[in-house]
Amino acid sequence: MIEFSGLLTWEDFQSAISEVEKLSRTLGDNWGINYYQQNTPGGSYLSYIRYIELENNLLKCEYHIIYSLSYSVPVMYFNISYPNGKLLSVTEVCQYLKKSVSEVSQQEHPLLQVPFFCLHPCNTDEIMKSLSIAHHNSPLKYLVSWLSLVTQVLNIPLPNEYGVLLNH
């Protein structure tokens, strides 16, 4: 059960990412679960890959929704790379996202142990707390609400069918 504090338990996160993956299969938008350390809290995550064109380059964008054991909220980790595999710099990522460097940080992916960008989760519980009154009994609605906010920040297309879930 989601607490009114805006937090999410690991078990609820697992349930929600399973439901998002099922819905994603029906919509064909390719979110999928990766089991890095199956049956270990924090050991699986939801991922999505897409390609975008930017300044005549086809860039690979990889997104991972990971459960933060420290903050008890989902966290978006992402990388954007050139066709040769070279990652965009922090400055280039911020220019693409039209965000300041203070909103995006680069750190080690907690499971893969390689550099990834992330949106820091420090205020996620407060943001979700303001939304959780309507969704406190549904881990799926919690995750979809969070995802609808994060996808806007990262310019990730999210089919309207996800929003329909919030009204049921």
Catalytic residues: 122
* Rama region for 113: left / alpha / beta (φ>0; ψ in -120 to 50; rest): left
Residue with tokens 């008890």: 72
Beta 44-54 vs 115-118: how paired, if at all? unpaired
Q: What distances in angstroms separate CA 33 from CA 14, 51, 122, 133, one per listed residue?
A: 10, 19, 24, 27
Residue 110, helix vs strand vs coil: coil
Q: How many CA atoms lie within 13 A of 166 on its CB side?
A: 17
**Nearest in space to 118 (alpha carbons), one of 131, 132, 107:** 107
Residue 75, helix vs strand vs coil: strand
Residue with tokens 């697992």: 14
| Residues shown for the chain | 168
